[in-house]
Amino acid sequence: MMNRGGALVLAAICTVAGGFAQAQDGKDLLETTCGTCHAMTDAGLTRISGQRKSPEGWLMTIVRMRMYHGLDISVDEQAELVAYLADTQGLAPSETADWRYALEKDPAHVEAIDEPLGTMCARCHTGARVALQRRTAEEWSLHMDFHVGQFPTIEYQALGRDREWYKIASEEIAPLLAETYPLETDAWAAWQAADKPDVAGDWVVLTDLPGSGPAYGTLTVAGDAAPYAVTGEMTLADGTTAPVGGQMNLYTGFEWRANLTIGGTAYRQVLAMSEDGSALAGRQFLRDDDSLGGTLKAAKVGSGPALLGVVPEAIAGQDATVQVVGTGLDDMRIEGSNGLADQVTTNAFGATAHLAGESAGFTFTAGDDTAKAALFDTLDRLTVEPGFTIARVGGGSDTGPAPVPARFKAIGWWNGPDGTPDTDDDIRLGAVDAEWSVENHNDIAEAMKDAAFAGQIGADGIFTPAVAGPNPDRPFSTNNAGDLKIVAKAAGLTGDAQLIVTVQRFIDPPIR
């Protein structure tokens, strides 16, 4: 159930039926399926009634019941339980807001978890995994005991054996978690009582596709309950179009999980719908390679003015037409520095605008949203995004995890009218074509010849790690891990980022 990218587990989240309308069926199923081991009390089933989690969190719990405790249910029943529990014992939008990177599997996010949770919890999994659940004080206390029972070596691992781990966990950490992440909150009570927005309808979407770059289009959601049908079309950076089709489930009234194909390529979407139902935001990634993907923003047609971005962000020259992606842009305002905009025409994706000027920056405004675009004749500086990320070696056997690649983009910048870098009038010109290379990041990497062994980067900015396992051609026969500098060169400029190539992830749950 926990293969490369957590694909099988996450597939269950993306393809099940669910929703508030099926709550009664879920309640009966929960009592008949889980009641054989969990006793019924006035509050509900023991243990279960004292917790709230994301859809992924509930799925992980049910899978663990199947793997370790002999729970015998069908895939459809498991899906129904996940939907019911997420809807009735889930998390409010505000309770997930700071931790969505873990649900979206953002490969470049670097956590900074305060002590004592940093060394007590985040040494084994993300701190977000803790924050994406709520429990009673009793349940948090029992959770400490669960860790010792499920992972008996936890007290003898690094950062465990050098302290009285269980005493600290039970006497300090459990009370801290009970205070920080309690079961009952005003946010959850308010969200349970709120009218849930209707997800069905037309959405204008802006995203970024691996190998294709910026893409925009429309998605139509149809149906009265999950699984919803999703259809649409995306326009790619080169002007070609790609059909979109698939299914989506909406959990807890705002958690969008979809399996879609875009031009025949399978993608997965992990998004959050705004509380008023007017917007979507999150990440879309390859179904078989979650490290390759991009952010996705969407605005619901008819919900008022919304501006998602401009494609392309910048054009070399003094004259161009751009697509301003959004909806309700009839009263969109355009301000230009050293340039003019005219011939604004609304369309199904927002509006097109003709821009003219010499090294001109433009700001588009609709409602509370703004976006920028530019005409330029030269780049002032070059950066690489992300500035830091990781990749993982893999392959080399029939059973081991596949390599985990990393994707980089060379980003051009114009210093703006003041000509000074890193000031408020700077304009991000967006991704530009670049020559890519790999170098050693420091003296240790140089001594170990990391750049020669850890992997290669292609012309598309995608780094492919080397094969896993001991390498007799390396010092100490170490594996092909490395500390690398990823270098981009364009228009006589250079930008770089750091890449750590590390070992395989053998256990890959939906929330890492």
Average the pLDDT over 236-257 and give the result: 96
pLDDT at 55 over 90: yes
pLDDT at 7 over 60: no
pLDDT at 5 over 50: no
Q: What is the pLDDT of residues 189-203, one digit of tens each?
A: 999 999 999 999 999
Residues written for the chain:
512
Residues whose CB falls within 8 Å of the CB of residue 5, separated by 6 or more in sequence, listed in order: 105, 287, 288, 289, 290, 508
Confidence of residue 490 (pLDDT cuts 50, 70, 90): very high
User: Between the CA of residue 58 and those of 64, 91, 219, 272, 387, what are the distances in Å?
Assistant: 10, 11, 28, 17, 34
Residues 45, 51, 52, CA angle at the centre, nearest 5°?
Answer: 125
Average the pLDDT over 466-486 and give the result: 95
Read off the pTM: 0.92
Helices 55-69 and 75-88: angle between axes, nearest 10 degrees: 140
Tell me, what's the pLDDT at 14? 53
Q: What are phi and psi of 231, to 5 degrees?
A: -135, 160
**Side-chain-side CA neighbours of residue 483 (13 Å):** 8
Tell me, what's the pLDDT at 217? 98
Asked if 360 and 251 touch (Cβ cutoff 8 Å), the reply is no
Task: Report which DSSP code applies to 71.
Answer: -
Instruction: Report the alpha-carbon distance of residue 371 to residue 206 in Å, rounded.
Output: 13
**Side-chain-side CA neighbours of residue 78 (13 Å):** 25
**DSSP assignment of 86-154, as one string?**
HHHS---HHHHGGGHHHHTT-TT----PPTTHHHHTTTTS-HHHHHTEEE-HHHHHHHHHHHHHH-TTT
Q: Of the CATH numbers 1.10.10, 2.60.40, 2.60.120, 1.10.287, which one belongs to the domain with range 309-376?
A: 2.60.40
Give me 307's structure tokens.
């501006």
Task: Flag the least confident range among 20-34, 184-198, 445-459.
Answer: 20-34
Residues 268, 98, 510, CA angle at the centre, nearest 5°?
Answer: 35
Confidence of residue 12 (pLDDT cuts 50, 70, 90): low
Number of neighbouring beta carbons within 10 Å of residue 496? 19
Average the pLDDT over 149-178 and give the result: 93
pLDDT at 1 over 50: no
**DSSP assignment of 181-206, as one string?**
SBS--HHHHHHHHSPPPP--EEEEEE
Asked if 361 and 416 touch (Cβ cutoff 8 Å), the reply is yes
Instruction: Report the alpha-carbon distance of residue 163 to residue 168 in Å, rounded.
Output: 8
The tokens 């004080």 sit on which residue?
137
Q: Of the CATH numbers 1.20.1560.10, 1.10.10.60, 3.40.1280.10, 2.60.40.10, which one belongs to the domain with range 381-502?
A: 2.60.40.10
Instruction: Print the SS3 string covering 408-442.
Output: CEEEEEECCCCCCCCCCCCEEEEECCCEEEEEECC
Confidence of residue 158 (pLDDT cuts 50, 70, 90): confident
Instruction: Report the alpha-carbon distance of residue 362 to residue 376 in Å, rounded.
Output: 11
* DSSP H/E element including 10: helix 7-15
pLDDT at 205 over 60: yes
Give me 54's structure tokens.
């994301």
Confidence of residue 17 (pLDDT cuts 50, 70, 90): very low
Question: 86: alpha, beta or left, given left = phi > 0 and alpha = psi -120 to 50?
Answer: alpha
Tell me, what's the pLDDT at 24? 54
Tell me, what's the pLDDT at 411? 95
Q: Domain locations in the chain?
A: 4-191, 201-300, 309-376, 381-502
pLDDT at 184 over 50: yes
Confidence of residue 412 (pLDDT cuts 50, 70, 90): very high
Tell me, what's the pLDDT at 20? 41
Give me 260's structure tokens.
């879609």
Give me 372's structure tokens.
């920028």
Tell me, what's the pLDDT at 509? 94
Confidence of residue 425 (pLDDT cuts 50, 70, 90): confident
Task: Flag the least confident range among 307-321, 401-415, 418-432.
Answer: 418-432
Tell me, what's the pLDDT at 16? 42
* CA 56 to chain CA centroid, nearest Å: 13
Share of the chain above pLDDT 70, in %: 95
Tell me, what's the pLDDT at 13? 58
**DSSP assignment of 231-300, as one string?**
EEEEE-TTS-EEEEEEEEEEETTTEEEEEEEETTEEEEEEEEE-TTSSEEEEEEEETTEEEEEEEEEEEE
Asked if 291 and 404 touch (Cβ cutoff 8 Å), the reply is yes
The CATH fold of domain 201-300: Lipocalin (2.40.128)
Instruction: List beta partners, residue 261.
Output: 245, 266
Average pLDDT over the chain, rounded to an integer:
92
Give me 338's structure tokens.
């050293």
CATH topology identical between 309-376 and 381-502: yes
Tell me, what's the pLDDT at 3? 43
